Amino acid sequence: MQQNNGLDKNQLLSFVLFTLILMGGMFYFQNKQAKEQQLKDAENKVQATQTAQSNPVKPAMVTNLNDSVKTTSIQQVELKNKELTLNISTLGGQISTVQLNEFKAYDKAADRNVKPLLLFDKNNSSYGFQFKDKTGKIFNTKDLVFSPTQNGNSVTMQANANGAIIQFIYTLLDKYTVDFNVKTQGLSQLVSDSKTDFVWDYNVRGVEKGRSQEQTHTEFNYAFNNYKSFDYDGRTTMEEPKETLNWLGVKQQFFSAVIEPQYGFKNSRGHQEMIEEGEFLKKFNFNGQIDLAGNELNQDFKWYFMPLDLKLLKSYEGKNFDELLPLGWSFIGTLNRWFFIPMYNLISSWGIAAGWVIFLMTIFVKIILSPVMFKQHKLSAMMRVIRPEIDEVNNKFKDADPMKKQQEVMAVYRKAGVNQMAGCLPGLIQIPIFYALFRFFPNMIDLRGKSFWFAKDLTAYDDVIKLPFHIPFLQDHLSIFAIACTVAILIYTMMTAGNIQQPTQPGMPNMKVLMYIFPITFLFFLNTSASGLSWYYFVSNAINVIIILVINYLILDEKKIHAQIQANKQKEPKPEGKFQKRMREMMEQAQEQQRLQQQQQQKKKK
């Protein structure tokens, strides 16, 4: 039996070599892990969440651009007034939470506005100033850790960037305004550029019931030309290389976040991207240049986190903030500002429910339009009376040239004293009213959250009838108000379709069929729109039906109308109006051209 007297030379050498390899490997991976941890800590600093609870304000460790993050936790400083609650984060020295205290956000589970209304929260907004140092490297203030000093509703955030001191001073003013003063010292020794970029990344959170409707109203808004001009952009990109923007806002359906630089943003560009589903509606990115004075940034900014209430927006004099409320351009916006909104405010001051306010608004509009509507229905009655004569002309000239037949028909109308174009006037008048109301109901913040019957919010659709499947455009519900409005339009169409003269030319579409298709397409439009709009149009068309019945059976007497038409025939025809004359001349010219073409074709055949 062989004894083991210990390790031989080969074993000892192998052990030493293995130990050295093991220690070297441990040292290598320890250094690698330390570097990875430093990198990870730096990334965590940039992407730190707001989950840390608010701690008493303590001096935070100041970080240097070339050092790793030395602070163990990110602090939040709270500023609060009646309207706003803000949290300022020491990471980036930026506003991390914005809550509008007097409003609530939509909760799908409760089907009501009961959640806290948060514009900024959970890192959905990140902003900072981007500089280029003398080595060509770019750094951003949102990557720095600031040290806070709070004094009431004001907090000073201070950071050190390679010897340069950067201060952000936030002061919560009255209502919805936050003063944001930026000061630097020693920055000129660090940077080589005479400008900085303000970079803002913002994922807009949905706070309303109707996602598609809120997405449509979520967009860039901005003022320029010394606050005199306004523009908006709901597309993919926004480019303003020549204008100086006085303020830049990201507007939602009823709320807006606006940043206003003291001397404006230059060479502004932005990007927005639709988010199909989930918590957020759209992803925004904005970059605007700020000029440095002596390579230092000393400028006052202001943040505004506002509900889109017209009276409030107008109270900021000279800012042009009232343009944030999309009431329509030109005459449409004027109609809303000076007619529908004052009418709504007046009636709602009587203390009645919002749905009945809309009901009374509809009646007042109908009373105003009643003279025009009476003329329209009287014209319809006159056209019914002379319909046999029109049919006789059509039969008599059915084989004749279409132009000739049309001239004979127009002659019958002219002798009877019937102006066909007068029937277009009510329709033309109601087009701007329709579009004004289309803008009014989804944007009237006083209607937000107001319920009426089965509609829990008159600025969103009612979805009492839920579908077990999804239909394009209709989505997964049926709106009762939209269905009721569609039925009312169909009844009105049935009562008026008999007055429409069908085209006799071959290949022309049947106008009656088109008129019946229109109400059905209207259902697809209204089903996802504001229920207040559907309620208004239901009442409006129900009143139209009643008006037709009253006019036809109680006011207009077709025997008297027939006698009047016969009397008109005995008189000298009224001089043609400019439009009628122009139409007749165009028809005669077309007829003459057709005759000449026929002559040329006959000559070619010979």
Number of domains into which the chain is organized: 3
Strand partners, 245: 224, 265
513 and 464 inside one domain? yes
Indicate the SS3 state at residue 352. Answer: coil
Indicate the SS3 state at residue 490. Answer: helix
Query: For residues 164 and 190, is the Cβ–Cβ distance under 8 A?
Result: yes
Mean pLDDT of the chain, nearest integer: 78
Q: Domain span at residue 145?
A: 76-326
CB atoms within 10 A of CB 527: 22
- Return the CATH number at 88: 2.70.98.90
State the DSSP code for 218.
-
pLDDT of residue 54: 38
409 and 267 inside one domain? no
Indicate the SS3 state at residue 138. Answer: strand
pLDDT 10s digits, 175-221:
999 999 999 999 888 888 889 999 999 999 999 998 888 998 999 99
430 and 540 inside one domain? yes
163 and 239 inside one domain? yes
364 and 229 inside one domain? no
Indicate whether 64 belongs to any domain: no
Indicate whether 436 belongs to any domain: yes
pLDDT 10s digits, 275-296:
988 899 999 999 999 999 888 8
State the DSSP code for 263.
S
- ∠ CA(281), CA(140), CA(164), 5° rounding? 150
Extract the tokens encoding 4.
């083991």
pLDDT 10s digits, 67-94:
434 444 889 999 999 999 999 999 999 9
133 and 121 inside one domain? yes
pLDDT 10s digits, 131-152:
988 888 888 999 999 999 999 9
pLDDT 10s digits, 418-444:
666 555 666 677 788 888 888 898 889
512 and 476 inside one domain? yes
217 and 237 inside one domain? yes
376 and 228 inside one domain? no
289 and 217 inside one domain? yes
Give how far the C-alpha of residue 190 lies from the chain's centroid of Cα atoms, to the nearest Å: 42
Query: For residues 459 and 448, is the Cβ–Cβ distance under 8 A?
Result: yes
Indicate whether 309 belongs to any domain: yes
First to last CA, the chain: 134
Q: Which residues of 424-455 are buried (b: 16+ CB within 10 A; e: fewer)?
A: eebeeeeeebebbbbbbbbbbbbbbbbebeeb
What is the band of 374 on the pLDDT scale with cuts at 50, 70, 90? confident
Indicate whether 55 belongs to any domain: no
Indicate whether 20 belongs to any domain: no
The domain boundary residue, chosen from 293, 326, 359: 326
Distance (Å, whole) CA 162 – CA 427:
69
Indicate whether 90 belongs to any domain: yes
Indicate whether 348 belongs to any domain: yes
pLDDT of 582 strictly over 80 = no
501 and 544 inside one domain? yes
pLDDT of residue 604: 65
pLDDT of residue 212: 85
Angle between helices 354-385 and 531-550 (to 10 degrees): 40
Indicate whether 19 belongs to any domain: no
DSSP H or E run through 17: helix 9-46
Distance (Å, whole) CA 134 – CA 451:
60
Distance (Å, whole) CA 380 – CA 424:
11
Q: How far is CA 186 from CA 101, 164, 328, in A?
A: 39, 4, 48
The domain boundary residue, chosen from 301, 326, 351: 326
pLDDT 10s digits, 512-564:
566 677 778 888 888 888 889 989 989 988 888 888 787 777 666 556 666 66
The domain boundary residue, chosen from 299, 326, 353: 326
Highest mean pLDDT among 22-31, 369-378, 382-391, 476-485: 476-485
510 and 421 inside one domain? yes
- ∠ CA(363), CA(366), CA(368), 5° rounding? 115
pLDDT of residue 260: 96
What is the band of 120 on the pLDDT scale with cuts at 50, 70, 90? very high
Distance (Å, whole) CA 376 – CA 383:
11
The least confident of 452-466, 478-492, 576-590 is 576-590
- ∠ CA(332), CA(336), CA(337), 5° rounding? 115
Q: Which residues of 111-120 are buried (b: 16+ CB within 10 A; e: fewer)?
A: eebeeebbbb
Give how far the C-alpha of residue 32 lies from the chain's centroid of Cα atoms, to the nearest Å: 50
Distance (Å, whole) CA 256 – CA 462:
25
Query: For residues 544 and 487, is the Cβ–Cβ distance under 8 A?
Result: no
